Structure 1
Amino acid sequence: MASFAAAAMGFRVLAFEPVFENLQRICDGLFLNRAWDQVTVFAAAASDHRGNITFHKLVGRLDNSAVSAAGARLAFKSNEEVAVEVAAVPLDEVVPATERVALLKIDVQGWELHVLRGAERLLSRKPREAPYLIYEEDERLLQASNSSSHEIRRFLASLGYNHCTLHGTDAHCTKD
């Protein structure tokens, strides 16, 4: 939904989706909304390394798929979980150093720290060139992926992101 909203406002969007069924829905949406010129879709998970990772999807609840099996089942304990291998790629390998990035939005069911580490070069840009950052900060999901909000905030602070405010479970961060 965020990708389509940004495209409708005229922004160029890079979207990452590792779950095949969700990828199909995004492609259908791009066609139906005539947004294919604005959105580039990667059939991969954003991460801190290139390769494959095991991803856990819930049968019938693809909106809660996660790298962590525990994270995938947190909200919907009764659903069957299926493990699949998906491609992973760091954002720093995809986003050119010369490309202006206004916003980086991350909602990856606890895998946020890995995505952020894979975007370290992007996040290290000077304050006026660094993206506004929104990421999900759900402590249960982060713990299921062996990280924490404290660890994320410490990493972001090392890159100059010292101003983060929580809006529900979304952290909004800017650089000094």
Structure 2
Amino acid sequence: MASFAAAAMGFRVLAFEPVFENLQRICDGIYLNRVGNLVTVFEAAASDRTGNITFHKLVGRLDNSAVSATGAKMAFKSNEEIALEVRSIPLNEVIPESEPVLLIKVDVQGWEYHVLKGASKLLRRRGREAPYLIYEEDEKLLQASNSSAKEIRDFLQTVGYSHCTKHGTDAHCSKTD
């Protein structure tokens, strides 16, 4: 939804989706909304390393798929979970330093720390060149992926994000310099 909203406002969007069924829906939405010239989709999970990772998808609830099997099943325990290998790519590898980035939005069922680590070059940008950051900060999902809100906040401090506020389960972060 965020990808389509940004594209509808005329922004260029990079979207990452490792689950084939969800990827099909995104491609349909790109076609139906006539934003193909603004949206680039990667059939991969954003992460902190290039390669493959095991991903867990829930039959009938693909919106809750996750790298962590526990995280995938947290909200829908009765659904069957299927493990599959998916490609992973750090944002640092697909976004050139010369490319302006206004916003990074991350909602990946507990894998947020790894996505943000893979975007460290982008996040180190100074002042207004640094993207505004929105990420899901759900402690249970983060713990299921062996990370924590504190670990993310500590990392963000090292790359210059000193101002983060919580809005529901999302954290909004910006640089004040």
TM-score, length-scaled by structure 2: 0.99
CA distance in 2, matches of 1:172, 1:55: 26
1:70 matched residue in structure 2: 70
User: Residue 60 of structure 1: CA displacement?
Assistant: 0.2
1:147 matched residue in structure 2: 147
**Aligned residue pair count:** 176
The aligned amino acid for 1:68 is: S
CA distance in 2, matches of 1:162, 1:142: 21
User: Residue 128 of structure 1: CA displacement?
Assistant: 1.2
User: Residue 62 of structure 1: CA displacement?
Assistant: 0.2
CA distance in 2, matches of 1:11, 1:124: 22
1:32 matched residue in structure 2: 32
**3-state SS of 1:140 partner:** helix
1:19 matched residue in structure 2: 19
Deviations 1:48-104 (A, max 9, x none): 000000000000000000000000000000000000100000000000100000000
1:46 matched residue in structure 2: 46
Q: Does 1:93 align with 2:127?
A: no
The aligned amino acid for 2:28 is: D
CA distance in 2, matches of 1:55, 1:47: 12
**3-state SS of 2:62 partner:** strand
CA distance in 1, matches of 2:50, 2:78: 32
CA distance in 2, matches of 1:89, 1:120: 13
Deviations 1:100-119 (A, max 9, x none): 00000000000000000000
Give the root-mean-square deviation of aligned CA atoms: 0.4
Deviations 1:119-154 (A, max 9, x none): 000000001100000000000000000000000000
Deviations 1:25-64 (A, max 9, x none): 0000011111100100000000000000000000000000
2:134 matched residue in structure 1: 134
